Amino acid sequence: MYRSVHDLRNFYNSRAGRVVRRILQQRIHEIWPDCKSMRMLGGGYATPYLRGFMQGSERVFAMMPAAQGAHPWPYNVGPDEKNLVCLAEESEIPFETNSIDRILLIHDLEFSELLKSNLQEIWRVLKSNGRLLVVVPNRSGFWARADWSPFGHGSPYSAAQIQNYLRDNQFIHERTEGALFMLPLQKLLFLKMAGFFEKIGRKYLPFAAGVHIVEASKQIYARPDVGSGSRVTVRTRGFAPNPIP
């Protein structure tokens, strides 16, 4: 299984992995074009997609699950660069409540052993106006069957399933889009045609997406107004309907 951080890193260093990263990066930035002055967290294995957000953001960092392992990022951290990755249990996120503006989850929920606890922790650390972006394999897509890639491991989801999980954990569904319409083949010809497959798939074959990209916002329930509790005098004079015999 793709539970090792080294497997994930090797995939994204491969020719096919670089094509996948380019496609998903473009779609993610279409949804979140501007994260200026925001604090952004990447969960699961999000480091291939975070560098584009570093310029202008208040802070960008990544959290990798303890079962998966972690490696420093940015890569080849030198004396003048700080490591921006931490290792944590998915049900115990080491960040303050209401402290993160944007959270990107990729290679995360499909491997989660404590899905409810994981989403509850994500809800906790998000700000009241925060947004969550989840990338998960499509249950009916070809990439869910490609066991040579991380998208072919774990538990894939239908669009309705992931939306329901988010709703049950106090998130408001904002949008769902499909991506990764290229066939999961490592031949150079198919990799070169990846852009063509994305254009055709988005327009004519949305059901064939390899992954779902789901955006959600944090749901805050308003407290009911119980009132002051003062008594109200009820007058019995005047019109009153007769009881039905």
pLDDT score of 77: 58
pLDDT tens digits, residue range 83-137? 999 999 888 999 999 999 999 999 999 999 889 999 999 999 999 999 999 999 9
Q: What is the pLDDT of residue 238?
A: 47
pLDDT in tens, 136-148: 999 999 999 999 9
Question: Mind listing the domains of the chain with CATH numbers?
Answer: 5-218 (3.40.50.150)
Residue 8 has pLDDT above 60, yes or no: yes
Q: Strand 126-137 to strand 211-218: parallel, antiparallel, or no bridges (unpaired)?
A: antiparallel
